[in-house]
Structure 1
Amino acid sequence: MDKQETVDSWQMATLFLAFMTGSAIVNIPAPLTAAAGNGAWLSLIIANGAGMLLLACILYLRRRYPGMTMIDYSRKVLGNGMTVLLAFPFVLTVILMFSYIVLDIGGFFASSLLIQTPSYAVHSLIILTAALTARAGIEAMARMFILLLYSMYFFIFLVLMLVQPYFHPEYLLPAFPQGMKPVIHGAYIAFGFPYAELILFAMVLPFVRKSDDNRLGKYMFSALLVNGLSLILVVICSIMVKGPLASELKFSVFQLARLITVQDVIERVESIVGISLIVGSYMKATITLFVVNLALSQLLKLQDNRILMFPLALVSLLLTLVMFDYEAEFTEKVTAVWPLITAVAFVFPILLITLVTVIKGKGGNGP
């Protein structure tokens, strides 16, 4: 990795919050309420708690192996052969994840803003922009994403405030009409997207300045807590506005913005909100591309860790054009299959490395 590129703990927490919230805040309410109904907020609490445990794992490994990425300390703990075996599905899954994010942005454009625009044009523009930003480096990303993240949150909370006249708190009851089984199903969906994906930051944390290490854990956990509260708030507001129909409210914040009318003066604000939501997904896509480029470069032991940026972007563009024929197929993969994929490709490797590190440490053979 490029040793000259560093960010402080606050900037890393900002990147983390942008990554965790970017596409989730617009996409998670519909499938979650479809699975868990009025108990979707509890599903998010459970999934966020599981995310806290995963975050604790990658912060623990960072303390044990300072300055190392997941690929580096996997080689140290498990050996090169096992690292290649675990990193291969990790890299493939991150490439797939990047393609999914771009597909989602394209779907949002096609259904809401640029209905007549071919999907490949939108996909190409998003991928090129993300590739150029990721190639600029993590310092440039951190500086730019702070402003974009604040703007996204401002418009989202503005929508939730202005749509308040449409709230019906009685729609939140009964909380668990079918017991806890749907809630657990919802937690499974929310864990796969977005909380299992935080493992990608095991590749990014070494970019934090050593002088700023002591505050990193506090900021990262705070960012994850803010993410959880934001998603819970959006889910609850969606339910209070649409009730049982909230599960059919795709791109929920955008759809809620369409309801806003203030004295026939302030209306049609959904376009501004839509741009903010696209910015959120763009930030997540950029960080994802940055991670997969770094992981593959370290796995192949390349001297130039940016040489693969545009080839990976091109592969992802081709994937977005051929992966799915129907939107329903894409939705099924994300809600039903993706949590299982992330559990195998992201969660299992980090838990294995953590377990072996703890055992070696207790045995007196730690690093």
Structure 2
Amino acid sequence: MNPEKIGLVQLALLFQISLVGSAIINAPQSLVAVAKNATWISILLASSIAVLGLVCILYLNRQYPGLTFMEYTQEAIGKWFSLLVTIPFLSVPLILLPNIVLDIGSFFKVTMMKETPLFLINFIFFLLAALTVRAGIEVMARMFSFLVIWMYISVIVILVLVSPLYHPEYLLPVLPYGFQPVLHGAYMASSFPFTDVVLLSMILPFTVGGDGKKLGKQLYGSLMIVVITLIMVTVCSIMVLGPITGNVKYSVFQLARLISLQEIIERVEMLSGIALIVGSYMKATIILFVLVLGISQLLKLKEYRNIVFPLAFITLLLSTTMYQRRGEFLEIVSVIRPLMGVSFSIAPILLITLVTLFKRKAARGHE
């Protein structure tokens, strides 16, 4: 593997986009449909699982410096037992990647390119993601640093311009159906997007500069930014769309379509469209990088770039064959995906953390 390196700030931006990149498209609609006005509480509750995952990742990064999740899992529990952990772990990006591209492809199909075949849209996204991964993590980090800032600025501008349409009274009552919908929303939000924090364990070894404290500050700060962003988008969507928020797809895009200031600033939905497309493209690229790197380490390949295009092609086929109906996709996202995130991402990293803790205590006891 080439000695590619990225800085702390670049890592923090990659971390943010790996969480918020595609979630900003659908999170308000899917979560509000379940948790209603208390969706922001669901997001806060779900973020605790990201904090748990981040604590484990930072601890393991200190104990196994320079190693990825795939590598220190083998060191912690052995080569053969590690397969029971790493193979399910790799199934998460394998399923997540076609879902992300299918989602943004559907966005294109519904809003902008209604006559274009979905397969062609997905193909273009996978090709761009594969070419970017082939360029390496350093190129990704430098390019995405600008694109992440552009995405945040676009979203903020939209939320400010649509502010004349805000109705704060739509936020009340906070718990119209009790606390059970909030827990359901937290369950969905736990994987959409917070369990994805574990995928960061494949990128941390590429980071240079700063000690453990600086790294922790950057990542915890990034997680706070992600939580605030999702809450802002959700609350603003509810204040504009009211009770129909849970039924409106791509709410940020729909908010942009409503902007009209003195007949001078209007029809700025392309601004939001570009932000959503860029966010999904960046997240898809990061997920593809994690998948490619993980499989290359599992198979003991010397160069991960050799399998970028084959894996991109496989996931492209998955994006066109996994679901026959829209309802199947929604079931995966709302029911199965959260269970996969906890079982195949959080549980493995927690297991390796506990094993490492016991090993370190046993080693100190023998000294």
> TM-score band (shorter)?
over 0.9
Q: How far apart in 2 are the matches of 1:5 and 1:166?
A: 47
Q: CA deviation at 1:226?
A: 0.2
C-alpha distance in structure 2 between counterparts of 1:214 and 1:237, whole Å: 34
Q: Deviations over 1:146-174 (max 9, x none)?
A: 11011111110111001111111011111
Q: SS at the partner of 1:308?
A: helix
Inter-CA distance 118–79: structure 2 relative to 1 (3 Å threshold): same
Distance 1:232 1:242, change over 3 A: same
Distance 1:195 1:95 in 2: 17
Distance 1:201 1:350 in 2: 11
Determine the C-alpha separation between the residues in 1 that align with 2:120 and 2:364: 54
Match of 2:222 in 1: 223
Deviation at 1:272, TM superposition (A): 2.2
Question: For residue 344 of structure 1, what is the amino acid of its counterpart?
Answer: S
Matched residues in 1 for 2:154 and 2:56: separation? 33
Moved more, 34-43 or 79-88: 79-88
Verify the 8 A CA contact 1:69 1:202 in the aligned structure 2: yes
Unaligned runs of 5+ in 1: none
- Structure 2: which amino acid aligns with 1:109? F
Find out whether 1:200 has 2:196 as its counterpart.
no
Give the aligned partner of residue 104 of structure 1.
Answer: 103
Compare 323-332 and 138-147 and name the one that shifted more. 323-332
How far did residue 259 of structure 1 move?
0.1
Question: Would the aligned equivalents of 1:261 and 1:267 in 2 still touch at CA under 8 Å?
Answer: yes
Q: For the aligned residues, what is the CA RMSD?
A: 1.2
Which residue is 1:66 aligned to? 65
Question: What TM-score, normalized by structure 1, do the two folds share?
Answer: 0.97
Alpha-carbon distance in structure 1 between the residues aligned to 2:135 and 2:214: 26
Q: Secondary structure at the match of 1:325?
A: coil
1:130 lines up with 2:126 in the alignment: no
Q: Which letter does structure 2 place at the counterpart of 1:300?
A: L
Q: Deviations over 1:339-358 (max 9, x none)?
A: 00111111111111011111
Match of 1:355 in 2: 354
Shift of 1:214: 4.3
- In structure 1, distance between residues paired with 2:46 and 2:16: 16
Once the two structures are superposed, the pairs formed by residues 115-264 of structure 1 within 5 Å of their partners are 115-209=114-208, 213-264=212-263
* Aligned-pair identity (%): 47
Deviation at 1:22, TM superposition (A): 0.6
Task: Report the equivalent of 2:37.
Answer: 38
Report the alpha carbon displacement of residue 328 of structure 1 after superposing the two structures with TM. 2.4
Kept in 2: contact 1:10–1:216 (CA 8 A): no
Q: Is the 8 A contact 2:8 2:209 kept in 1?
A: no
1:198-241 deviation digits (Å, cap 9, x = unpaired): 11111110001155554111101100000000000111011111
Q: Encode CA deviations 1:72-108: one digit per residue, 9 max, x unaligned.
A: 1100111111111211122222111111011001100
- TM-score by structure 2 length? 0.97
1: CA distance between counterparts of 2:198 and 2:302?
24
**For 1:268 and 1:18, how far apart are their aligned partners in 2?**
26
CA distance in 2, matches of 1:326, 1:344: 26
Paired position in structure 2 for 1:300 = 299
CA distance in 1, matches of 2:125, 2:137: 18
Give the Cα–Cα distance (whole angstroms) in 2 for the partners of residues 76 and 146 of structure 1. Answer: 33
Q: Is the 8 A contact 1:9 1:212 kept in 2?
A: no
Which residue number corresponds to residue 333 of structure 2? 334
C-alpha displacement of 1:364: 2.1
Mapped to 1, the partners of 2:248 and 2:354 lie a distance apart of: 41
**Match for 1:52: what amino acid?**
V
